Structure 1
Amino acid sequence: MPSIQIEIENGVARITLNRPETFNSFNREMALLLQETLDHCNTNDGVRAIVLTGNGKAFCAGQDLNEVTSPELNPGFKKILEEHYNPIVERIRSIEKPILAAVNGVAAGAGANIALACDIVVATEKASFIQAFSKIGLIPDSAGTFFLPRLIGFQKASALMMLGDKVGAKEAEQLGMIYKVFDADSFEEEVHKLALHLAQMPTKALGLTKRLLNQSMTNSLQEQLDMESVLQIESAESEDYREGVNAFIEKRKPVFKGK
């Protein structure tokens, strides 16, 4: 079976990390294939929302340590970061379509940080998040040191990264680390409903919103206001804006086409 599976239906691309025997830990093949799959979703006009999830009991346990300890297979940390994880995070943030991380189990190390780089993160009540790097003498990667402090604050992020504490799904929700927790029994149904809702929304506006959020990480207030002005004009020229206004005036539900 391929290490990455993809299904596209009703505007939703569901990408599944598929190495359940290793708790979906990344090896080089899976990392490169995920990049290819994200590129396909980016250029496919039929995809208006993306779900990233895992097969089996885990979302992703991070790096496959069997690979990095193998003299034959080890690509080295320079390649792992520059060719595996960094390009994945860059794609997640640059694709101007909503990306929903559906965390179905443990998300550890790079697996946790790739999830947190997504636009919306939901989790089953049985899921957990672990900054596991310090347990083996490494530093957090995959943009964890960028996103986690912004999500939950510097002090809490510092403690979680240094101590390597496990954070349950409910606590992650309370901290603002993730959007919402669903019961295990209804998780798949709730993820499907949320993804379908995103796919039926004005994709152009969501993509521009994502671009603004990315820039807000480094912009000054004036730079952000200027950028909002430019992108608001762009969004006002979209077909979806005209449809949204007409639907409001006609008191009906809008039918957005993502254009």
Structure 2
Amino acid sequence: MTTSDLLALREATLRIGPGGVAEFTHRRPEARNALSMAMREDYRDMLERVENDRGIRALIVTGSDGSFCAGGDVKGMAAMHASQSEAGAAAQARSRIAADHHRWLDRLRSLDVPVIAAVDGPAFGAGASIALMADFVLASTRASFCMVFARMGMVPDFGAFHTLPRLVGLAKAKELMMTARRFGAEEARSLGIVHAVHEPACLLDEARHLAARLARGPRDALGMIKNSLNRSFDCDYRTMAEIEAHQQAVAMSLPFHADAVQRFLRKESPAYDWDRAVEGKGTA
């Protein structure tokens, strides 16, 4: 990467690497990368770049200094309590803030490129919720997750009511949210939250390896697959069939499909062949 590939934001950085793999890194180590208002602005700026750059084909979201994201900024919460003496005004302000962060969270969830969360250390509260927005979660052996909200007399936020029960089932989601207990990487993998567990020193390289392989795929088709799967739990069969028909017509009109057909006729390997990449050597 060259220096032009690095964008320094307020409390995060965005790097655009080879093959169109972008890396968004939380950089607030003094607070274990807690999600401040400034970092939320960084997410908006990052999303603006990724959404408008067709050269970006995969996104990695990660932390720094042994922490993914320790959750919400409790000191910021204390300041809000101190500055808003009237309960009604405080509730209205918090409602506006929540509505605002759901706008950029939906953009993160709906990105038309694969999103990988590389979780090293704690992913608590909002940090865990952000990880759940990713398409793939890779965790280090020292990663830990916690729906910590109930400890603070709060309810889960940042989309966790939507994402967690779809991943682990309703009963398990109730247990994790109502006990607010901490759980490690291996349990998270057994629950279907984590895709793979790696040693801390290897985690980011493994995330880059996965991102690079996904980035070689059909960008538009993968984006449509992701979009349809995100909607599949909320739509009936007929609606999903209509979406499928429309997306298939679009996909089959694109150059990637035409090239794949010609490769098949010439008895050549597909340009995007996951099994061949797994079995081959030096494949990213």
Partner of 1:7: 15
Which amino acid in structure 1 is aligned with residue 68 of structure 2?
F
Identity of aligned residues (%): 33
The answer on whether the counterparts of 1:67 and 1:73 sit within 8 Å (CA) in structure 2 is no
Distance 2:42 2:61 in 1: 13
2:208 paired with 1:192: yes
Partner of 1:230: 246
Which amino acid in structure 2 is aligned with residue 83 of structure 1?
D
Partner of 2:27: 18
Distance 2:148 2:249 in 1: 44
User: What is the CA distance between 1:210 and its match in structure 2?
Assistant: 1.1
Distance 1:59 1:249 in 2: 47
The answer on whether the counterparts of 2:116 and 2:138 sit within 8 Å (CA) in structure 1 is yes
Match of 1:45 among 41, 44, 54: 54
User: What is the CA distance between 1:173 and its match in structure 2?
Assistant: 0.5
User: Which residues in structure 2 correspond to 1:151-162 (within 5 Å)?
Assistant: 151-162=167-178
Which amino acid in structure 1 is aligned with residue 230 of structure 2?
N
Distance 2:186 2:159 in 1: 23
User: What is the CA distance between 1:73 and its match in structure 2?
Assistant: 7.7
Choose 107-116 or 239-248, whichever is displaced more.
239-248
Partner of 1:55: 64
Choose 163-172 or 221-230, whichever is displaced more.
221-230
The answer on whether the counterparts of 1:28 and 1:80 sit within 8 Å (CA) in structure 2 is no
Partner of 1:249: 265
The answer on whether the counterparts of 1:18 and 1:54 sit within 8 Å (CA) in structure 2 is yes
2:74 paired with 1:65: yes
User: What is the CA distance between 1:87 and its match in structure 2?
Assistant: 2.3
Partner of 1:103: 119
Q: Secondary structure at the match of 2:238?
A: helix
How many matched pairs? 255
Partner of 2:282: none
Q: Secondary structure at the match of 1:254?
A: coil
User: What is the CA distance between 1:208 and its match in structure 2?
Assistant: 0.3
Deviations along 1:174-216, one digit per CA (max 9) or x if unpaired, are 1111212122232122111101111111110110011101211
Rg larger in structure? 2
The answer on whether the counterparts of 1:35 and 1:87 sit within 8 Å (CA) in structure 2 is no
Distance 2:46 2:141 in 1: 28
Distance 1:229 1:95 in 2: 21
Deviations along 1:114-133, one digit per CA (max 9) or x if unpaired, are 11011111111111110000
Distance 1:144 1:9 in 2: 30
Q: Which runs of 5+ in 2 are unaligned?
A: 1-7, 85-89, 274-284
RMSD of the alignment, in Å? Answer: 1.9
Partner of 1:81: 98
User: What is the CA distance between 1:255 and its match in structure 2?
Assistant: 7.1
Partner of 2:185: 169
Choose 67-76 or 236-245, whichever is displaced more.
67-76
Which amino acid in structure 2 is aligned with residue 67 of structure 1?
G
Distance 1:105 1:154 in 2: 26
Distance 2:67 2:39 in 1: 15
The answer on whether the counterparts of 1:116 and 1:178 sit within 8 Å (CA) in structure 2 is no
